[in-house]
Amino acid sequence: MSESEPPALVTCASCGATNRLDPARGGGDREAVCGRCQAPLPESGPVNVTDESFEELVLRSPVPVLLDAWAAWCAPCRMVAPALEQIATERSGRLRVAKLDVDDNPAIAERLGIRSIPTLVLFREGREVDRLVGAVPKGEILRWADAV
């Protein structure tokens, strides 16, 4: 996030309050908390998933997870990235957007049978529900995620 980026609006899962997170301030090592009830706030952007963190961040997530299997050299992956960042912010607390770099994390990519990128995999309650392969616009990603 750049310093000129506007604050992200994050809804508290505990009390429903809308909280403003200013990317210019950064969080350091502190976890963002709700201004009303002090409950921890969900992340406001995509989380990076590794072979080591996959179980915790994806399979044990309390909310559905939209996993983006991508690679830095992949042009279609870079085309989809801004839409996924927007979805992560807009659906914060209701949907976790996670990014898995398949080059750096081959074990999970192999375990999931990722053969083409970008591949979007939707998980609910630790189980794969569906997947979408290829670069698609934000609206189509949202329709797909909502329909599944």
Q: Which residue has the higher pLDDT, 57 or 6?
A: 57
Amino acid in the structure at residue 12 = C
pTM for the structure as a whole: 0.75
Bridge-based pairing of strands 96-101 and 47-49 is parallel
Whole-angstrom Cα Rg for the chain: 15
Is the backbone peptide bond immediately before 6 cis, with ω within 30 degrees of 0? no
In a 13 Å sphere around the CA of 131, the CA atoms on its Cβ side amount to: 17
Q: What residues pair up with 66 in beta bridges, in sequence order? A: 97, 122
Is the pLDDT at 12 greater than 80? The verdict is no
The pLDDT of residue 20 is: 80
Confidence of residue 1 (pLDDT cuts 50, 70, 90): very low
Amino acid in the structure at residue 10 = V
Q: What residues pair up with 18 in beta bridges, in sequence order? A: 11
Is the pLDDT at 9 greater than 90? The verdict is no
What is the maximal distance between C-alpha atoms in the chain?
45
**Does the annotation count 15 as an active-site position?**
no
**Does the annotation count 74 as an active-site position?**
yes
Tens of pLDDT, residues 88-138: 988 877 899 999 999 999 999 999 999 999 999 999 999 999 999 999 999
Work out whether the CA dihedral 125, 130, 134, 137 comes out positive or negative. Answer: negative
Confidence of residue 3 (pLDDT cuts 50, 70, 90): very low
Domains annotated for the chain, with CATH where assigned, are 1-41 (no CATH), 47-147 (3.40.30.10)
Is the pLDDT at 60 greater than 80? The verdict is yes
